[in-house]
Structure 1
C-alpha cells in the first residue's frame, strides 16, 4: 500500500494511537500493549485483521518522517473518520497516553491537536479524560 492509497477507518484509529505513543519519540511496552488490547476488544475493530496492525503502524511512522508528517497524519485521520468516531479516536489517544500512568508534555500536545482537529467540546473531553484517570488509577 502506498501512502496515497486510502486507509480504513480502523487504520485511522490506529494512526491516532501511534501518533500519541510516538509523540515522545519512544513507544513503550505498556503503550504497545494498550494499543493491541484495544484493537482486540473494542467493537470498532471487529473484523480487523490483527496481522495488519504492525504494517499500519509502520505506514503511519513513514508518514510522520515526511515534512509536516504530523499534520499529514492529522489531516488523513480527519478525512477518513466519520464525525461520530471523533470522540472514539480521542478516547483511544487518551488511553495510550495514560498507559504509562504518566502523560508526557508531547502527548498532551498531540491530544490538544486531536481535540482541535475533531472540534470536541469541553464536556466530552473532560468525560473521556476523567474516565481514563479512573481506569488507570493505582492503589
Structure 2
C-alpha cells in the first residue's frame, strides 16, 4: 500500500522541502510558509498549531534514505491532481521569499514539476506571477 498524508501536509512538505533545499531555511522563507498557511483558502480547515510538527516530520523524512525522492513520492501520491499546480505555486512562492533563488531550489522545482507532470505553460505562468509579485523598483 502506498503511504499518503493529507493534502495540507503534502502542501506543507512541499514548502518545507523547497526551503530546506539549499540547506538554509531563511527567516523570510519560514515567515512566508506561516503566512501562506494562515491566509490561503486551501488551508482554511488546517489546524495551524500542527505546522511546526508537520515541518519537523518532513525534515525527518528528508534526512532518511532517499529522503528527497520519498518526499516527492509522498507529495504526488497524497495530493489530488487539482492541487498539483497549487503545490508548485507554493514552492515558487517560498523560493522567491528571500528574493534570491539558489541552484538547489531550482533543481527541486524541476524535480517537483516533473513528478507532478505539470505542463510548461502552467509552470511559466506560475513563475512569471511570482517574479511580478516579488519585483523591487
Please tell me the TM-score bracket, short chain as reference.
over 0.9
Query: Aligned equivalents of 1:5 and 1:95: distance in 2?
Result: 27
Query: Aligned equivalents of 2:102 and 2:24: distance in 1?
Result: 11
Quote the residue 1:88 is aligned against.
Answer: 86
Shift of 1:47: 1.4
Residue of structure 2 aligned with 1:135, choices 120, 128, 133 = 133
Query: Aligned equivalents of 1:110 and 1:138: distance in 2?
Result: 25
Instruction: List runs of 5+ in structure 2 lacking aligned partners.
Output: none
Q: How many residue pairs are counted as aligned between the two chains?
A: 136
Instruction: List runs of 5+ in structure 1 lacking aligned partners.
Output: none
User: 1:51 and 2:49 equivalent?
Assistant: yes
Contact 2:4/2:77 (CA < 8 Å) preserved in 1?
no
4+ aligned runs moved over 3 Å, structure 1: none
Quote the residue 1:66 is aligned against.
Answer: 64
TM-score (norm 1): 0.95
CA RMSD in angstroms, aligned pairs only: 1.1
Quote the residue 1:28 is aligned against.
Answer: 26
SS in 1 for 2:37: helix
SS in 2 for 1:91: helix
TM-score (norm 2): 0.97
Q: Which moved further from structure 2: 108-117 or 6-15?
A: 6-15
